[in-house]
């Protein structure tokens, strides 16, 4: 129950089927909204998934820190280049797994092991291209990509936008307390809101393609290498503005192959 005495968003998560949960959350068909299965998959990344789900029942608007290396790895790209990678993945490639924005960076959820393999592939591609073409190499335009794998943890966005949670449980949101710093918080702990409010949290941490299944398809290192090379070649401005698409349905997940 929420502090208002009304059932909170995730009170009956374990007992609800997907359709019922989506109806409660008001996110059906929205690529930026997490489904019940998506929440279960995210929680499975940590050592105590039921504790993570319990936190979300109480605070569905809270970002949390989850460990990498088991359910997923993360490829962390600068905002504009990350958007170019996404454009290539969805317009010319197989689509993507879940994707989030946090503090101006794009977080691409990838298959476990990607964080270890992708840097080697990027280095090999650059060396091979320079040696063959005596040019700048095909990955010369790729900015440094931060790869988070086993032993790392990342902040993932809340299940619902803070504004939606505010409408459903204003007292619970108003009583928010300061949480541990995201980079050092334990797995499953609520992440600190760097902007200090619902609107700031929405701009700092949100989903572009939210988890919608218990077994999402996740790109591996070869797919992300391809996307990075294509993005580096692209000189076209990203089709999605970082400022104007807050909460928008960014990608049509029905096209995922």
* pLDDT tens-place string over residues 134-191: 445 566 689 999 999 999 999 999 988 766 554 544 333 333 333 333 344 455 655 6
Statement: residue 236 has pLDDT above 50: no
| Angle ∠(63,170,59) on CA atoms, nearest 5 | 30
* The token pair that represents 158 in the structure block: 């809340």
18 vs 41: CA distance, rounded Å: 13
Statement: residue 116 has pLDDT above 90: yes
Which range of 55-64, 74-83, 156-165, 236-245 scores highest in mean pLDDT? It is: 74-83
* The token pair that represents 118 in the structure block: 């992708």
Instruction: Out of 12-16, 102-106, 137-141, 205-209, pick the least confident.
Output: 12-16
Residue 77: strand, helix, or coil: strand
198 vs 19: CA distance, rounded Å: 27
Statement: residue 13 has pLDDT above 60: no
H-run or E-run covering 214: none
DSSP string across 48-61:
-HHHHHHHHHH-TT
H-run or E-run covering 67: strand 64-67
């Amino acid at each position: 129950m929420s502090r208002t005495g009304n059932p909170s968003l995730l009170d009956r998560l374990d007992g609800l089927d997907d359709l019922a949960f989506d109806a409660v959350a008001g996110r059906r068909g929205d690529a930026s909204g997490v489904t019940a299965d998506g929440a279960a998959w995210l929680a499975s990344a940590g050592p105590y998934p039921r504790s993570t789900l319990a936190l979300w029942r109480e605070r569905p608007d809270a970002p949390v820190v989850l460990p990498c290396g088991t359910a997923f790895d993360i490829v962390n790209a600068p905002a504009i280049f990350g958007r170019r990678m996404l454009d290539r993945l969805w317009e010319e490639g197989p689509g993507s797994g879940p994707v989030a924005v946090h503090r101006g960076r794009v977080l691409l959820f990838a298959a476990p092991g990607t964080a270890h393999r992708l840097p080697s592939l990027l280095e090999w591609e650059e060396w091979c291209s320079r040696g063959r073409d005596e040019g700048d190499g095909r990955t010369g335009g790729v900015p440094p990509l931060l790869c988070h794998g086993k032993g790392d943890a990342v902040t993932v966005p809340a299940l619902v936008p803070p504004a939606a949670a505010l409408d459903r449980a204003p007292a619970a949101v108003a009583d928010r307390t300061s949480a541990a710093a995201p980079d050092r918080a334990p797995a499953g702990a609520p992440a600190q809101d760097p902007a200090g409010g619902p609107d700031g949290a929405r701009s700092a941490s949100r989903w572009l393609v939210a988890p919608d299944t218990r077994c999402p398809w996740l790109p591996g290192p070869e797919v992300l290498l391809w996307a990075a090379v294509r993005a580096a070649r692209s000189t076209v401005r990203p089709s999605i503005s970082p400022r104007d698409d807050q909460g928008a349905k960014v990608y049509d997940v029905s096209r995922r192959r």
